[in-house]
Structure 1
């Protein structure tokens, strides 16, 4: 099956479950999945850096030091790998049968779809700055929607409400764990005076 990216992008909004099934059905090799992830995170990092520069130019706000693209690539790759682990591991605990490699591929596609949305956001930022903020909210909603739909296909779940609840709990639990790790390793400093919060 030869992927039609434009058609798959459209179906990601209208019928995301079929896209998830098609992605898994490609039976890509481990190397192909890894290269797809790397390509997407590199493109996303470049776009993110561009967005920061455009925002600073339009608003005349000093954003300080722009995060190096290589740092962004590393962080996003780590998040995708962790996300795929959480998506497969937690789902399996609730009776699902999804694999890590398929979860990574699905999350890579979600990242690609969001990247297209970010490209539109950069354009909106130039001509309609206010609408760019609304676009950010829509992208977050889209990410959650695709996560729920793709998780259902990955694990064979049938209940979207239960799956959505699981996705939210997994996200909150992951954020809590990340916060503990960052503070305990000294990467993030807690304020000495609680009132300073």
Structure 2
């Protein structure tokens, strides 16, 4: 089976039986360099798709999104930092609550799920050109799917039985990280960095 067929089969399994897909993924002997390069690749592609989707119309975005998407390079850097932080949190917070997942496997999970989200981004980009209201629905559905898959894959990664508790942990960790990062960004860059965008 070729690599593309294996990826397609795993993607289908992820949508149908995510817990089994997580076990299959974690059993793959993916080199650490490929995992690291994958994180960079999905960050760059995701930021490019986001920049294409918003185009030059940044007026309807919040100040942070306007600042980030005003430059494709800046968007890629922020996206990579966000994904790298996600890997660290999935690993460290899970271990803090008794999980046994490794950092390389946390990296693999984040890269894989973000790769799937790239396909949804492409669909959303096409919908933006054809039926803009539909693009918003696809975006919300994609976010809900990502949260659910991240919950299932994190539970399998760390050996947790309660997916409800994992979901709660992901939500609380995400809120705390968002608050800290938002405050730090404003303190480091200053309010004027966002006012001029």
Residue 135 (1) aligns with residue 138 (2): yes
Taking structure 1 as reference, are residues 146 and 187 closer, same or farther at Cα in structure 2, changes over 3 Å only?
Answer: farther
Partner of 2:179: 176
CA shift digits 1:69-99 (9 cap, x unpaired)? 2212111111111111111111111110111
Tell me, in whole angstroms, the C-alpha distance in 2 between the residues paired with 1:148 and 1:188: 35
Residue 157 (1) aligns with residue 152 (2): no
Larger mean CA deviation between 11-20 and 150-159 belongs to: 11-20
Q: Specify the structure having the higher radius of gyration (Cα).
A: 1
Tell me, in whole angstroms, the C-alpha distance in 2 between the residues paired with 1:180 and 1:129: 32
Gaps of 5+ in 1: 57-61, 190-197
Give, in angstroms, the shift of residue 2 of structure 1.
5.9
C-alpha RMSD of matched pairs (Å): 2.2
Matches within 5 A, 1:1-197: 3=3, 4-53=6-55, 62-63=57-58, 67-188=70-191
TM-score, structure 2 length as denominator? 0.85
Contact 1:182 1:188 in 2 (8 A): no
Tell me, in whole angstroms, the C-alpha distance in 2 between the residues paired with 1:186 and 1:37: 25
Tell me, in whole angstroms, the C-alpha distance in 1 between the residues paired with 2:13 and 2:44: 24
Partner of 1:192: none
Give, in angstroms, the shift of residue 51 of structure 1.
1.1
Gaps of 5+ in 2: 60-65, 193-197
Contact 2:23 2:156 in 1 (8 A): yes
CA shift digits 1:98-121 (9 cap, x unpaired)? 111111111111111111001011
Contact 2:43 2:83 in 1 (8 A): no
| Alignment size in residue pairs | 184
Tell me, in whole angstroms, the C-alpha distance in 1 between the residues paired with 2:168 and 2:130: 37
Contact 2:39 2:111 in 1 (8 A): yes
